[in-house]
Structure 1
């Protein structure tokens, strides 16, 4: 059972994903407060999660909890850090979900406060199947780390990684589903157009995806050997274009996150 109170600074989609994931895992949402600058967001949260406390435009209240989750985007995170720094207690643990702001940078912007963790969340956390790499500052004890992991482990896998690797995970695992979801949705439409029921199409596509991933990464075969397993490749003429999109879009995005 969770013993620590939690304050979310920011009530957007990632906060809703985490709250939904915790609820789906059977966790109680009591002793959780969420602050957001949007009155509409606060109202939606209060309606969807009546057991939590919500406050409009007062991050100091959220910052007074045992675990403070920074669920805001990098462009506004700097101002948020300055705002909440005076409200942090010596025993507080700050968990940032934003890329770009490394642990040393967070410590600097918080005036030397160093009880910090960073996690790059994955949307599949909403169904407790996320892949959420996490890094800890040297100031956190084993008990502190356990307190954080007791919460986030309900969302899926939470491998402990190096802080400097988190921007790569932001590009690969956090944004990764968006590279495929629209393709799977289109494949579902094609399957139904070809006569499959929606249920059978979803079952077939999901099983195909799982099997394809296992073949790619667990078979011990080379890429070329895997590619050669299926002789008919309807998108072969477009493969080079798709590869170039990956390289141009994602590598430049990573560099922006690291700058």
Structure 2
């Protein structure tokens, strides 16, 4: 993999996920600069990844080959405004935020090497499912270099820009719909007499097998669900479905506006 320099504007969760994924694959972090407005956040990140350089100035990140906008949507345009005059056409800009389109970004930037990506938390263990889209005029050689770099994160695939927000809700946020339930089952299982190791093994192996059964057995979803006759929370299923539908669709409408 060709060595490239990277700048992250924003030192939050997604930057930590990227750095951990690169570290897992023994990709050097020496050419990485991370910017944030919080000294504490930068200090904590550098303690975890001592090789990186940290800064309070977004302009320092523009010296790098690839500039990541690791920010929430309301802060993306402000960050672009602060670097617009010093980003030349050779730089690659990769936004990791939903909502802000490449058309909007290109209003402030001279470079057409623009990309948007919706990364997954599972990239932390190099098992991400990360949709990406590129500006039509993105340089082909640079695109290949980026995709090669992103292979360290897991599966990265090209998609249409208008589908990114859908992936954000049904893929990137997907674990949050289940993780708290798995955590509660860990607590319940140990109250029922299983050890921590027994609990974790039971959940881990059953969840993995249930996933394979649902998607790879050749059965319809109804046929899979019918394989287990006793459903202890059946009376609450409609409530849970309505929660999912109402919250997810409302959030989709908000970030697509």
TM-score scaled to structure 2, two decimals? 0.96
Q: Which residue is equivalent to 2:75?
A: 76
Deviation, 1:100, is 0.2
Check if 1:66 corresponds to 2:100. Answer: no
**Paired residues for 1:191-210 under 5 Å:** 191-210=189-208
Q: Which residue is equivalent to 2:86?
A: 87
Distance across 1 between alignment mates of 2:144 and 2:106:
21
Distance across 2 between alignment mates of 1:129 and 1:208:
19
**Paired residues for 1:156-171 under 5 Å:** 156-171=154-169
Deviation, 1:112, is 4.5
State whether residues 69 and 97 of structure 1, in contact with CA within 8 Å, keep that contact through their aligned partners in structure 2: yes
**Paired residues for 1:220-235 under 5 Å:** 220-235=218-233
Distance across 2 between alignment mates of 1:155 and 1:118:
15
Q: Which runs of 5+ in 1 are unaligned?
A: none
Deviation, 1:231, is 0.3
**1:147-168 deviations in whole A, cap 9, x for unaligned?**
1112221111111111110000
Deviation, 1:64, is 2.2
**RMSD, aligned α-carbons:** 1.2
Q: Which residue is equivalent to 1:130?
A: 128
Which contiguous aligned blocks of 4+ residues in structure 1 show a shift greater than 3 angstroms?
Answer: none
Q: Residue 54 of structure 1 aligns to a residue in which SS?
A: strand
**Paired residues for 1:95-174 under 5 Å:** 95-108=94-107, 110-174=108-172
Q: Residue 158 of structure 2 aligns to a residue in which SS?
A: coil
Q: Which residue is equivalent to 1:46?
A: 46
**1:72-96 deviations in whole A, cap 9, x for unaligned?**
1101111111111112122111010
Distance across 2 between alignment mates of 1:186 and 1:211:
20
Deviation, 1:201, is 1.5
**Paired residues for 1:10-25 under 5 Å:** 10-25=10-25
**1:192-242 deviations in whole A, cap 9, x for unaligned?**
222222122112211111111111111221121111000000010000000
State whether residues 9 and 63 of structure 1, in contact with CA within 8 Å, keep that contact through their aligned partners in structure 2: no
Distance across 2 between alignment mates of 1:135 and 1:126:
21
Distance across 1 between alignment mates of 2:21 and 2:128:
9
Distance across 1 between alignment mates of 2:166 and 2:11:
25
Q: Residue 7 of structure 2 aligns to a residue in which SS?
A: strand
Q: Residue 132 of structure 1 aligns to a residue in which SS?
A: strand
State whether residues 6 and 68 of structure 1, in contact with CA within 8 Å, keep that contact through their aligned partners in structure 2: yes
Deviation, 1:244, is 0.4
Distance across 2 between alignment mates of 1:31 and 1:19:
12
**1:108-145 deviations in whole A, cap 9, x for unaligned?**
2x244321111101111111111111111111133111
State whether residues 64 and 89 of structure 1, in contact with CA within 8 Å, keep that contact through their aligned partners in structure 2: no
